[in-house]
């Protein structure tokens, strides 16, 4: 044998690598929740193994939208983060098949630092960067590795099994941050399989504008790093389904997509691709996307069961965070998940570090994570809107089909140019809304039912 | 006797990710991430499969900048016992002659009994380096190998080679250089613990041109390859004709000049 490699320290044959018990915690999935947990634990001196099934963190992530950063800002220096644009305008728009009635909000405050902690991001880039921050803090990242199950001793979770040979690795704590399609957590009976009424399917395209400079700035009326978040409801957005459409501006691209209940996709035989194409070709949407070229297409599921669907968060040796824990808020006005993912990852990481210091791995010790979440905005917000999903489902035809048309008709009447007096137009406009929504009585009931969305 | 099996691997631009710039129509190589040359994965599998049968130590080597270290980590993750980074500014601009000389000297320095290489690299596709290693060292060579049978008692390696129109079974005395046919050896997945080790705790050994005693024999200046010029081939205009029946086909074909 050659002297060059004789007895070298780095010799893999001598080392017989075995990392069982080398890590304090294994995090399953390097998305926002997983990386936030890994970073928080690494910052507190724990040895963390972060396992990601994609070729890089974010490679499997399909979310395209707004990242809310109040907690991330505490964890990392956002200066270097790959943020696309800050959100300077939110626009809520009701679409019938050919009408639009919209409300736009653009407070001056949003144009100033810290921009209401709302930025558009491309998750392929952001997640990779965020996981890098966890690695810089000392976490070990392993990619292209799928966790297939949990290792247990009795009830206690003592590690994970992966799809690789020699693929089990033991560690006292496991953080399940595997996303909405949580096969590991479900397989291990740590959470129930979500029913399809509570799951949304989302399809998204990233579009670029190959012709011309400043197309995004000009079309969406923006300066510098300002961006928009447009939300669309009604049958013009997602047909007969319960959901909505969206447009977000990135640096040089826009993310356009639809999200609606899996139940509707199945029952109405409404494919995400067709639905997205219909939305993109709506007369009020198409001009925004004219001459755009698709650079990426993707689809995902979103848990929308709200507070009731949140599983037990703490188990012996394991916790569940982010989408896997159903921590997504979608009430029509607020569409949030990223902030909850980070918040849950942060609290989980913090609680595990505390429990580790006390040598505890039992569910009782990790319950503190669930309690922290309950006291945080995450669960409070979910509970606040728990009633909404069902109510909207009951009123669905009214809200998504009748109302968009009624408001558009009212607008058309109110501003009609003919030779009749304005009083006549105003009364017809009023009637268009009042009649469609069940008379004054119906209108009052409706207002009462939904007042809690905004008050 | 323990065989030392040295595997040559190379970092290349990922050809799955090399896009075509839609505006200019040109290949966009710069944005493609660097990956292991895909045929080298076959070479690693072939080497590891020999080690499954005989007492052997498998060592990966690559010639390139320190940036190329991830291909060595990947080799160790798959099962190599050690890895060597052959790196030196003096290597810059080397064509296949000094490259195969360098790898030949490294194989010698590592006391290789068997050198295994991929059929060719996807970024230059000459297929000259494995035979070059054998030629520089005066060792036997087995190219386009589809199957390997080690014969430790006889000190030989027996190979089934793809030859035009069939196969050939040949035995070579050690030391021998093997170039395996692309697609014949499906690479084994890396074990979890090995992968974690290779990517985080493993450091390859390093060799320089000086240590190999070839500082004056490598680099652009001594590379005999000269590019005479580049020409873009214009598409040939094709003539199309639809005929109504088979009989009508004969005349037009007969009319085509050869």
**Distance separating alpha carbons of residues A363 and A348, to the nearest angstrom:** 12
The domain covering B3-233 belongs, at the CATH homologous superfamily level, to: HUPs (3.40.50.620)
Q: What is the ipTM of this complex?
A: 0.81
Same domain for A38 and A186, yes or no, is yes
Looking at chain B, the whole-number percentage of residues with pLDDT higher than 70 is 95
Same domain for A157 and A210, yes or no, is no
Nearest CA in chain B to A168: B192
Between B23, B82, B111, which is nearest A12 by CB? B82
Shortest distance between the Cα of A182 and any Cα of chain B, in A, equals: 21
**Residue B223: is it exposed, middle or buried by C-beta count within 10 angstroms (0-12/13-18/19+)?**
middle
Pair of tokens at residue B240: 């199309």
Whether A7 and chain B come into contact, CB under 8 Å, resolves to no
* A-B Cβ pairs (cutoff 8 Å, strict): 83
Whether B205 and chain A come into contact, CB under 8 Å, resolves to yes
Shortest distance between the Cα of B88 and any Cα of chain A, in A, equals: 17
Same domain for A137 and A275, yes or no, is no
Whether A13 and chain B come into contact, CB under 8 Å, resolves to yes
> Would A100 be classed as within a structural domain?
no
Predicted pLDDT of residue A1: 46
Of A348, A373, A388, the residue that ends a domain is A388
A145–B4 CB contact, under 8 Å: no
Shortest distance between the Cα of A100 and any Cα of chain B, in A, equals: 35
Angstrom distances, CA of residue A430 to CA of A103, A379, A396, A405, A412: 19, 39, 22, 13, 11
Nearest CA in chain B to A5: B205
> Would A112 be classed as within a structural domain?
no
Angstrom distances, CA of residue A402 to CA of A21, A236, A260, A411, B30: 60, 12, 18, 14, 53
Between B23, B200, B202, which is nearest A12 by CB? B202
**Distance separating alpha carbons of residues B142 and B178, to the nearest angstrom:** 5
Q: Are A27 and A48 in contact (CB under 8 A)?
A: yes
Same domain for A225 and A250, yes or no, is yes
Q: Which residues of B touch A49 (CB under 8 A)?
A: 196
Task: Give the residue, B227 or A371, on which the prediction is more confident.
Answer: A371
Between A13, A163, A164, which is nearest B57 by CB? A13
> Would A114 be classed as within a structural domain?
no
**Residue A394: is it exposed, middle or buried by C-beta count within 10 angstroms (0-12/13-18/19+)?**
exposed
Which CATH number goes with the domain that contains A274? Answer: 3.30.9.90
Which CATH number goes with the domain that contains A125? Answer: 3.50.50.60
**Distance separating alpha carbons of residues A361 and A153, to the nearest angstrom:** 12
Of A281, A303, A325, the residue that ends a domain is A303
List, in sequence order, every beta strand (DSSP E) within A250-388: 253-261, 293-303, 314-315, 318-320, 329-330, 335-336
B192–A165 CB contact, under 8 Å: yes
Same domain for A230 and A166, yes or no, is no
Q: Which residues of B touch A163 (CB under 8 A)?
A: 189
pTM of the model: 0.85
**Distance separating alpha carbons of residues A69 and A134, to the nearest angstrom:** 16
Same domain for A137 and A256, yes or no, is no
Same domain for A312 and A297, yes or no, is no
A167–B191 CB contact, under 8 Å: yes
When scoring B41, B195, B210 by the number of chain A Cβ atoms within 10 A, the one with the most, hence best to mutate, is B195
Same domain for A27 and A134, yes or no, is yes
Shortest distance between the Cα of A10 and any Cα of chain B, in A, equals: 6
Shortest distance between the Cα of B16 and any Cα of chain A, in A, equals: 13
Domain encompassing residue A325: 15-84+121-194+306-388
Same domain for A34 and A154, yes or no, is yes
Give A 208-267 residues with CB within 8 A of chain B. Answer: 210
Same domain for A155 and A217, yes or no, is no
**Residue A446: is it exposed, middle or buried by C-beta count within 10 angstroms (0-12/13-18/19+)?**
middle
**Distance separating alpha carbons of residues A252 and A407, to the nearest angstrom:** 34
Whether A139 and chain B come into contact, CB under 8 Å, resolves to no
- Report the number of distinct structural domains present in chain A: 3
Q: Which residues of A touch B204 (CB under 8 A)?
A: 10
Please compute the mean of the pLDDT values over residues B86-95 and round it to a whole number. Answer: 88
Same domain for A376 and A439, yes or no, is no
> Would A64 be classed as within a structural domain?
yes
B202–A142 CB contact, under 8 Å: no
Q: Which residues of A touch B190 (CB under 8 A)?
A: 164-165
For chain A, 455 residues long, give each residue's pLDDT as a single digit of tens: 466 777 665 455 556 789 999 999 999 999 999 999 999 999 999 999 999 998 888 776 666 678 888 888 889 998 899 999 999 999 989 898 889 988 898 999 999 989 999 999 988 889 999 999 999 999 999 999 999 999 999 999 999 999 999 999 999 999 999 988 888 998 888 888 878 778 888 888 999 998 878 999 999 999 999 999 999 988 888 887 778 899 999 999 999 999 888 888 888 888 888 999 999 999 999 999 999 999 888 887 888 777 777 889 999 999 999 988 888 876 666 667 788 899 999 999 999 999 999 999 999 999 999 999 888 877 777 777 666 666 777 777 777 778 788 888 888 888 888 888 888 888 888 888 888 888 888 878 877 777 776 66
Between B109, B192, B203, which is nearest A2 by CB? B109
A8–B205 CB contact, under 8 Å: yes
pLDDT-derived band at B123 (thresholds 50, 70, 90) equals: confident
Between A5, A15, A164, which is nearest B195 by CB? A164
Whether A49 and chain B come into contact, CB under 8 Å, resolves to yes
B84–A168 CB contact, under 8 Å: no
Task: Give the residue, B222 or A86, on which the prediction is more confident.
Answer: A86
Shortest distance between the Cα of A147 and any Cα of chain B, in A, equals: 11
List, in sequence order, every beta strand (DSSP E) within A55-195: 64-68, 83-95, 100-105, 118-122, 140-142, 147-153, 156-162, 168-170, 173-176
Shortest distance between the Cα of A126 and any Cα of chain B, in A, equals: 18
**Residue A59: is it exposed, middle or buried by C-beta count within 10 angstroms (0-12/13-18/19+)?**
middle
Of A388, A403, A419, the residue that ends a domain is A388
A8–B82 CB contact, under 8 Å: yes
Q: Which residues of B touch A164 (CB under 8 A)?
A: 189-192, 195
Longest dimension (CA), chain B: 73
pLDDT-derived band at B218 (thresholds 50, 70, 90) equals: confident
A166–B2 CB contact, under 8 Å: no
């Amino acid at each position: 044998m050659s002297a060059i490699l004789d007895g070298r320290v780095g010799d893999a044959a001598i080392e017989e690598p075995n990392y069982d018990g080398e890590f304090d915690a294994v995090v399953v999935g390097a998305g926002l929740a997983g990386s936030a947990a890994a970073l928080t634990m690494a910052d507190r001196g724990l040895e963390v193994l972060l396992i990601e099934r994609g070729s890089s963190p974010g490679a499997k992530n399909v979310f395209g939208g707004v990242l809310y950063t109040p907690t991330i800002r505490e964890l990392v220096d956002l200066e270097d983060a790959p943020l696309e644009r800050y959100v300077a305008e939110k626009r809520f728009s009701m679409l019938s098949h050919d009408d639009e009635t919209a409300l736009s909000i653009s407070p001056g405050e949003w144009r100033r630092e810290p921009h209401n902690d709302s930025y558009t991001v491309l998750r392929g880039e952001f997640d990779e960067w965020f996981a890098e921050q966890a690695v810089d803090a000392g976490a070990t990242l392993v990619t292209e590795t799928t966790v297939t199950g949990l290792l247990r001793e009795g009830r206690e979770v003592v590690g994970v099994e992966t799809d690789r040979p020699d693929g089990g690795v033991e560690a006292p704590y496991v953080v399940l941050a595997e996303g909405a399609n949580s096969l590991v957590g479900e397989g291990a009976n740590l959470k129930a399989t979500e029913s399809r009424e509570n799951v949304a399917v989302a399809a998204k395209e990233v579009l670029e504008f190959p012709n011309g400079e400043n197309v995004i700035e000009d079309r969406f009326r923006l300066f510098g790093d300002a961006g928009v978040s447009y939300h669309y409801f009604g049958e013009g957005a997602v047909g007969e389904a319960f959901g909505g459409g969206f447009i977000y501006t990135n640096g040089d691209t826009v993310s356009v997509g639809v999200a609606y209940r899996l139940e509707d996709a199945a029952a109405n035989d409404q494919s995400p691709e067709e639905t997205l194409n219909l939305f993109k070709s709506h007369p009020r949407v198409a001009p925004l996307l004219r001459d755009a070229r698709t650079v990426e297409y993707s689809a995902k599921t979103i848990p929308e069961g709200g507070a009731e669907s949140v599983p037990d968060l703490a188990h012996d040796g394991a916790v569940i965070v982010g989408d896997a824990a159903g921590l997504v808020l979608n009430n029509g006005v607020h569409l949030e998940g990223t902030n909850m993912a980070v918040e849950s990852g942060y609290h989980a990481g913090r609680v595990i570090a505390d429990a580790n210091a006390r040598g505890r791995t039992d569910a009782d010790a990790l319950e503190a994570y669930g309690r922290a979440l309950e006291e945080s905005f995450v669960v409070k917000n979910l509970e606040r809107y728990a009633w909404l999903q069902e109510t909207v489902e009951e009123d669905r035809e009214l809200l998504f089909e009748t109302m968009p048309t009624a408001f558009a008709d009212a607008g058309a009447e109110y501003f009609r140019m003919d030779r009749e007096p304005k009083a006549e137009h105003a009364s017809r406009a009023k009637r268009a809304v009042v009649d469609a929504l069940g008379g004054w009585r119906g209108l009052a009931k409706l207002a009462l039912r939904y007042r809690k969305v905004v008050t | 006797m323990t065989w030392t099996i040295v595997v040559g691997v190379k970092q290349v631009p990922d050809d799955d990710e090399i896009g075509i710039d839609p505006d200019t129509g040109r290949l966009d190589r710069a944005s493609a991430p660097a990956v292991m040359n895909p045929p080298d994965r076959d070479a690693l599998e072939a080497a590891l499969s020999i080690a499954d049968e005989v007492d052997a130590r498998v060592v990966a080597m690559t010639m390139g900048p320190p940036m190329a270290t991830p291909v060595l980590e990947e080799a160790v993750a798959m099962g190599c016992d050690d890895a060597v980074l052959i790196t030196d500014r003096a290597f810059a601009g080397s064509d296949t002659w000094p490259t195969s000389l360098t790898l030949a000297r490294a194989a010698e320095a590592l006391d290789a009994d068997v050198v295994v290489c991929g059929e060719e690299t996807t970024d230059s596709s000459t297929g000259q380096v494995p035979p070059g290693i054998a030629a520089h060292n005066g060792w036997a060579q087995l190219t386009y190998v589809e199957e390997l049978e080690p014969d430790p008692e006889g000190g030989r390696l027996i190979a089934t080679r793809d030859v035009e129109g069939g196969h050939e079974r040949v035995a070579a005395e050690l030391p021998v250089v093997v170039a395996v046919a692309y697609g014949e050896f499906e690479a084994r997945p890396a074990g979890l613990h090995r992968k974690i080790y290779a990517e985080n705790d493993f450091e390859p050994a390093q060799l320089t041109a000086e240590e190999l005693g070839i500082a004056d024999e490598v680099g652009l200046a001594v590379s005999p390859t000269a590019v005479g010029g580049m020409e873009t081939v214009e598409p040939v205009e094709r003539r199309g004709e639809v005929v109504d029946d088979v009989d009508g086909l004969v005349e037009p074909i007969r009319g085509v000049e050869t």
